[in-house]
Amino acid sequence: MTMGVVQNGVQYIIRLDMQRDGVPFRKIVQMVDDLEGDIIAWDLVRAEDQRTIRDLTVLMATADKLHALVTELSQLDAVSVENVSDRTFLMHLGGKIEIRPRVHIKTRADLSHVYTPGVARVVEAIAEDPSKAFQLTMKRNTVAIVTDGSAILGLGNLGAKAALPVMEGKAVLFKWLANVDAIPLCLDTQDVDEIVETVVRIAPAFGGINLEDIAAPRCFEVERRLSERLDIPVFHDDQHGTAVVILAGLINAAKVVGKSLESMRVVIAGIGAAGTATAELLLHIGVRDIVGYDRMGAIVEGQSYPGHPQWEKLAQQTNPYHRTGTLRELLTGADVFIGVSTGNLLTLEDIQGMARDAILFVMANPTPEIAPEIAQLHAKVVATGRSDYPNQINNVLCFPGLFRGILDSRAKRVTVRMKVAAAHALASVVKDEELGPEYIIPSVFNREVSERMAKAVIQAAEKDNVARRITKV
């Protein structure tokens, strides 16, 4: 086998249907070697009279080189390429979640308790007192992850089926980080009325609704209407989860640069779901000088924004000095830039006019608004949405712990106090002695995050009188 040719690459598994003794292994080795790849494994899947099925695991530097290898293998007379997968695809085979029972049926007596006739008593108890559904059914620990597939990651409107792998992944994170059971519900509609009516009708089975990857401005209307009609929390993670994690990062970044967060001048680029929610949360904690910027320029009172009612509202609450102009002009003298927009939006010249010890949260994915290496030439603190740079701003730091607190308190809704409490709890995981320009936010693998956030959310829910269950924390 070839060894050590590829320093960085991706592992792929190529399943080959081959005639016995049709192609010598050394020929395949030479093909891989010629394309500067490594053979990692050569596994027999099954053997038949005249054919063998084998998995060739290779490390290839680029997708183009993989494609070239597959083409060459396909052209061999004695070989048929059945499938090509990489580790990511293999982890998704058959889906990433399953349902398992919490009780086991081993005897006829067990069956009579779990199902008929014994279950009838539980049915009657819930009919008499619906709140007992939280005690006696999956409702106490289950969240619906609802999407219409209109804003999947950074990929756009790809529909309900394409959204399912993302929702499954989110369900895995719910369970892994906070022991919350989550069920993906990918709706084959992008009509607000149909989304709302569907979720209202399935809501009795759940303790909370997590909206995900629904495009703005439709997401605002869906969340508002569901929150009005349901007696369980409705939380659009792309809005509020992002805002909570951004606030947590800014709380610690302010400590690093020695400034009061409330006194800072903030520019937010990208006034969609995340940008709007971030502005609203910052306003709530006392930040006053906020300028929103989108494709139409600065959001300013007095302008008309047809089709964007959230911009109209934000214009009345932000930009107190009615600043306008280019993004570079808006950034002059600003302390903080928050980007939830598009890659390569900024240059070094754009940020050089910012205040001393500037803070840049450049979270466009996969390409930030400015390369972090360039941003660091002027900024004191730089955060991104990526895992390969310090200070990753990731929603996974919020939703598992927040919903753990929601479910444990049996909250009726999510309040601003609960979101602020979640942000402070997240920020507090990073100890003062650990704080620095490259460590303002904890790792997504830090188990303390969910536990601390859940406790803070429970306490806030009780203070706001939205908790239906008082918990000692």
Inform me whether the pLDDT recorded for 7 exceeds 80: no
Q: How confident is the model at residue 243 (pLDDT cuts 50, 70, 90)?
A: very high
In DSSP terms, which residues pair with 315 in a beta bridge?
none
The pLDDT value given to residue 49: 80
Full set of structural domains in the chain with CATH: 10-92 (3.30.70.260), 141-232 (3.40.50.10380), 238-473 (3.40.50.720)
pLDDT in tens, 33-76: 999 999 998 988 888 888 899 999 999 988 899 999 999 999 99
The answer to whether the beta carbons of residues 243 and 268 sit under 8 Å apart is: no
The pLDDT value given to residue 308: 84
Alpha helices, DSSP H only, in 207-347?
A: 218-229, 242-257, 273-284, 309-317, 327-331
pLDDT in tens, 416-427: 999 999 999 999
Edge-first strand listing for the sheet containing 336-339: 297-298, 290-294, 266-269, 336-339, 359-362, 381-384
Most confident of 70-79, 82-91, 346-355: 346-355
Inform me whether the pLDDT recorded for 6 exceeds 60: no
Q: How confident is the model at residue 8 (pLDDT cuts 50, 70, 90)?
A: low
DSSP string, 187-232: -S---HHHHHHHHHHHGGG-SEEEE-S--TTHHHHHHHHHHHH-SS
The answer to whether the beta carbons of residues 265 and 289 sit under 8 Å apart is: yes
Query: How large a percentage of the chain has pLDDT more than 70?
Result: 98
Give helix then strand counts, H and E, for the chain.
Answer: 18, 14
Lowest mean pLDDT among 3-12, 68-77, 231-240, 428-437: 3-12
Per the structure block, which two tokens stand in for 423? Answer: 């942000």
The answer to whether the beta carbons of residues 406 and 233 sit under 8 Å apart is: yes
Per the structure block, which two tokens stand in for 5? Answer: 């040719």
The pLDDT value given to residue 91: 81
Higher pLDDT: 22 or 389? It is: 389
Higher pLDDT: 405 or 156? It is: 405
Look at the alpha carbons of 430, 433, 438, 440 in this order and tell me if their dihedral is positive or negative: positive
The pLDDT value given to residue 5: 44
Residues with a known catalytic role: 115, 170
Inform me whether the pLDDT recorded for 3 exceeds 60: no
SS3 call for 376? coil
The pLDDT value given to residue 472: 65
Q: How confident is the model at residue 2 (pLDDT cuts 50, 70, 90)?
A: very low
Q: How confident is the model at residue 356 (pLDDT cuts 50, 70, 90)?
A: very high
> In terms of Cα–Cα distance, which of 349, 342, 464 is closest to 405?
464
- Using CA atoms, how far residue 367 sits from 160, 292, 344, 364, in Å, is 25, 21, 7, 6
Q: How far apart are CA 343 and CA 363, in angstroms?
A: 9
Q: Mean pLDDT of all residues in the chain? A: 93
pLDDT in tens, 108-128: 999 999 999 999 999 999 999
Tokens 């466009």 found at? 364
Sorted by sequence, the CB contacts under 8 Å of residue 149 that are 6+ apart come out as 157, 158, 159, 160, 161, 162, 163, 186, 187, 190, 213
